[in-house]
Amino acid sequence: MIGTTPKGSRSGVATAGHVLRELAKSGGPAFGAAKAFDTGDGGAGAGRPPPTETVQHQDQVLESPRDHLVEMFMQAPGFIAVLDGPTHVIQRANTAYLRLVGSDEIEGRPIREALPDIACQGVFERLDSVYATGEPYAGRHRSVRLAHTADDSPEVMWLDFIYQPIRDDDGAVAGVFVQGQDVTDAVRAADRQKLMIDELNHRVKNTLATVQSIAMQTARHHPDPNRFAEAFQARLMSLSHTHDLLTRSHWEGADLRAVLQHETDAHGGPTRIMPNGPLVALDPAQALSLGMIFHELATNAGKYGALSTPDGRVFVDWSLADQRARRLTLNWRESGGPPAAPPQRRGFGSRLIERNVRHDLAGEIELDYAEGGFIAEISFPLDRGR
Amino acid sequence: MDGLAGKRILVVEDESLVAMLIETILEDLGCAPIGPAASVEEGLGLVNGETAIDAALLDVNVGGQQVFPVAEALAARGVPFVFSTGYGEAGLPDSWRGRPTLQKPFTEDAVRTAICAALGA
């Protein structure tokens, strides 16, 4: 400490090496018990005992910083241990360290004996090497299998740590200072994030393939570029609407009624397409499929069915049957429009509806071109474990 | 037509729109699509069934499952196959690398090339 008196430097300055040595030296598990805390810098003051009153004064001054030091050591959020000698006797371990290894009876024992569970994981060998070479060792995001209590089965933890050699006054390695932190939560969060990014990549590519398919099939049925653009955009927007809904729930799923309303808003909304049924939670794949189905049904109704006239309406009723293997039945019934007639040629829209129900939803569909209006009845299992 | 005319190609793909695209492409190539199977179970049913299969196009991820049991069943019968995945070959475990792989989205040309490579045609 520059600028302090020689006396001050003797009492106040403790190098990092000294702190470690002092922690290692002070005995007893509760090592708050005050002993003379030698802050000498390697014997510079040896043979020159200071006057008695100064010693007493120093003891008073020192007791408090030393207690603080011990307290900080014990309460430090990271785990810390001081290991002594070639067998790494655990001289000191703070609360975080004891919590990590799930035992408070390790002090005073060589680490191989105190923590037999971590044998064969490279820990002891690294400590041996730090002790032998005097080279510190830093580990980042290293996994170790540890049991938190004697009864627990070991679980994988991820740690950041440093093994730092502790040197004696002659510079020889006398022990190893272990310090680090449990980064298991951070490593797991990073793993989850990677999984989510992989899943997102997969979805983006699949969505692109879906859009490609819509473009190709729409083009085959609409050779005229203007009509192609119109139909293609409408389908793209339909897909995008369901995506919006799913984004709001972080891709957990969506409610059936919300999907219906999103997809049919452009066709007059709930005054013309009247929803009636219980809350039904759809998973993302089901929501996307039903979204496309509703879009095609509403577009068809707008072109040829009930929604092509000012007073026509569509009643959409749904219900759930069988609580153990839940099955959704949905009825789309058009009314007040021109009489329905089977199409001359099956368009992409009706193929898309049928394929989506049978293939993606593993369900069944019946189309009825009735005199009073078109009816579609769709049913599919809700819990397919997808 | 590249020796693909009349070939019976099993399609395993869980998204109907993508399956429809594949079917359209296969039909344009003169092939006869079989399936499409929307799940591993359905795919295995078709492989183990009576239908003759010349080659297969397998989506790696079908209905939340990996398609490899179907690939194993095909390999056991000596039927060549092509993987299709959003990741390309990087999405495959090491043991399945080196097979013809289609990366989504794909062109008609890419489908033809991959199936020809699988058939050695």
The CATH number that applies at residue B64 is 3.40.50.2300
> What tens digit of pLDDT does each residue of B90-120 get?
778 888 888 888 988 888 899 999 999 998 8
What is the DSSP-derived secondary structure letter of residue B43?
H
β-strands B101-103, B81-85: how paired?
A: parallel
Domain shared by A377 and A237, yes or no: yes
Q: What is the pLDDT of residue A120?
A: 84
A228 within a domain of the structure (yes/no): no
* Residue of A276, A289, A217 whose CA lies nearest to A246: A289
A284 within a domain of the structure (yes/no): yes
Of A217, A384, A386, the CB nearest to B20: A217
Size of interface A-B (CB pairs under 8 A): 74
Rounded to whole angstroms, the Cα distance separating A240 from A297 reads 17
B78 pLDDT above the threshold of 90 = yes
B113 within a domain of the structure (yes/no): yes
> What tens digit of pLDDT does each residue of A51-64 get?
555 555 655 555 67
Tell me what percent of the residues of chain A surpass a pLDDT of 70. 83
Rounded to whole angstroms, the Cα distance separating A66 from A72 reads 10
Cβ of B16 and A352 within 8 Å? yes
Rounded to whole angstroms, the Cα distance separating A368 from B35 reads 26
A203 within a domain of the structure (yes/no): no
> What tens digit of pLDDT does each residue of A146-173 get?
877 767 778 889 999 999 999 999 999 9
Of A204, A206, A385, the CB nearest to B15: A206
Of B14, B64, B87, the CB nearest to A360: B14
> What tens digit of pLDDT does each residue of B9-47 get?
999 999 999 999 999 999 999 999 999 999 999 999 999
> What is the CATH classification number for the domain harbouring A103?
3.30.450.20
Cβ of A213 and B21 within 8 Å? yes
> What is the CATH classification number for the domain harbouring A356?
3.30.565.10
Q: Provide residues of A within 8 Å CB-CB of chain B.
A: 201-206, 208-214, 216-217, 220, 289, 292, 351-352, 355-356, 358-360, 362, 384-386
Assign A226 a pLDDT band (cuts: 50, 70, 90). Answer: very high
Of B16, B85, B105, the CB nearest to A212: B105
Final residue before a domain boundary, out of A123, A150, A182: A182
Cβ of A213 and B18 within 8 Å? yes
CA distance A363 to chain B (A): 12
Q: Which residues form the domain of A169?
A: 77-182
B3 within a domain of the structure (yes/no): no
In angstroms, the Cα distances linking A56 to A5, A13, A50 are: 19, 18, 10
Contact A138, A179 (CB under 8 A): no
Final residue before a domain boundary, out of A41, A75, A109: A75
What is the number of domains present in chain A? 3
Domain shared by A63 and A81, yes or no: no
Contact A161, A124 (CB under 8 A): no
Contact B60, B85 (CB under 8 A): yes
Domain shared by A281 and A332, yes or no: yes
Cβ of A205 and B14 within 8 Å? no
A271 within a domain of the structure (yes/no): yes
For B60, which residue in chain A has the nearest alpha carbon? A202
Which residues from chain B sit within 8 angstroms of residue A286, using beta carbons? Answer: none
Residues 6+ apart with CB under 8 A from A229: none
B1 pLDDT above the threshold of 80 = no
Assign A37 a pLDDT band (cuts: 50, 70, 90). Answer: very low
> What tens digit of pLDDT does each residue of A45-95 get?
444 455 555 555 655 555 678 888 888 889 999 999 999 999 999 998 999
Q: Average per-residue pLDDT in chain A?
A: 83
> What tens digit of pLDDT does each residue of A278-315 get?
999 999 889 999 999 999 999 999 999 999 999 999 99
pTM of the model: 0.69
CA distance B102 to chain A (A): 12
Domain shared by A310 and A334, yes or no: yes
**Which ipTM did the prediction report?**
0.86
B35 within a domain of the structure (yes/no): yes
Final residue before a domain boundary, out of A123, A151, A182: A182
A196 within a domain of the structure (yes/no): no
A44 pLDDT above the threshold of 90 = no
B2 within a domain of the structure (yes/no): no
Cβ of A214 and B17 within 8 Å? yes
Residue type at position A98: L
For A212, which residue in chain B has the nearest alpha carbon? B105
Q: Does any CB of chain A come closer than 8 Å to the CB of residue B87?
A: yes
What is the number of domains present in chain B? 1
Residues 6+ apart with CB under 8 A from B35: B10, B11, B12, B13, B19, B42, B43, B46
Rounded to whole angstroms, the Cα distance separating A268 from A271 reads 7
Q: A338-377: buried (b, 16+ CB within 10 Å) or exposed (e) per residue? A: eebeeeeeebbbbebbbbbbebbbebebebeeeeebbbbe
Q: Which residues form the domain of B34?
A: 8-119
CA distance A348 to chain B (A): 10
B21 within a domain of the structure (yes/no): yes
> What tens digit of pLDDT does each residue of B39-57 get?
999 999 999 998 899 999 9
